[in-house]
Amino acid sequence: MSISITPIGIIETPFDDLKGMPIQPSGAAKIQGTIVIDKEYEQGLSDLEGFSHIILLYHFHQSKGYDLIVKPFMDDHKRGLFSTRAPRRPNPIGLSIVRLIKREGNRLIIKGIDVLNGTPLLDIKPYVPRFDTKEVTAIGWLENNQEKSVFLKSDDRFIET
């Protein structure tokens, strides 16, 4: 089976280098960015202004290859890829929940963005707590590491050399 996905826009951020970026939106709480939607999709932004947060699905366009066992940013032990949020994946798709500040035509001003400048945007969905928030009873190896996402920055471990 083959799947073809076309980006609907680009995410603009202050991050031009993969090294030193926040590793999760929680570490980018004050970082502002802009989403520029291709004009042909602008009408689809109607009514989005009524939401304080949106879900972004995007392509890790600088990600090359993958390993099934990785050493994640927030741990010193190797872990199975699918138990991490590492960007080098078989299908390099990222997800971030960001604050929507305002819409200006085909541009969305957002806050809390943790992606590389020029990242291709695949889709936007409104964040709805009743739909999207679940009662969580276990978070695996991240139980004692999740707070690190606020201050840890990326290094070169997921950059292909």
Can you count the helices (H) and strands (E) in the chain?
1, 8
Rounded CA gap, 80 and 37, in Å?
34
pTM, 2 dp: 0.82
Rounded CA-CA distance 52/147 in Å is 24
User: What does the alpha-carbon distance between residue 140 and residue 153 come to, in Å, rounded to a whole number?
Assistant: 21
pLDDT value of residue 131:
86
Q: Of 70-84, 91-105, 111-125, where does mean pLDDT reach its minimum? A: 70-84
More confident residue, 127 or 85: 127
As a whole number of angstroms, the distance between CA 98 and CA 40 comes to: 23
CATH number (2.40.30.70, 3.40.50.10320, 3.40.190.10, 2.40.340.10) of 9-150 reads 2.40.30.70
Q: What is the DSSP string of 14-52?
A: S--SSTT-BSSGGGGTT-EEEEEE-GGGGGGGTTGGG-S
Higher-confidence residue of 73 and 81: namely 81
Which pLDDT does position 4 carry in this prediction? 93
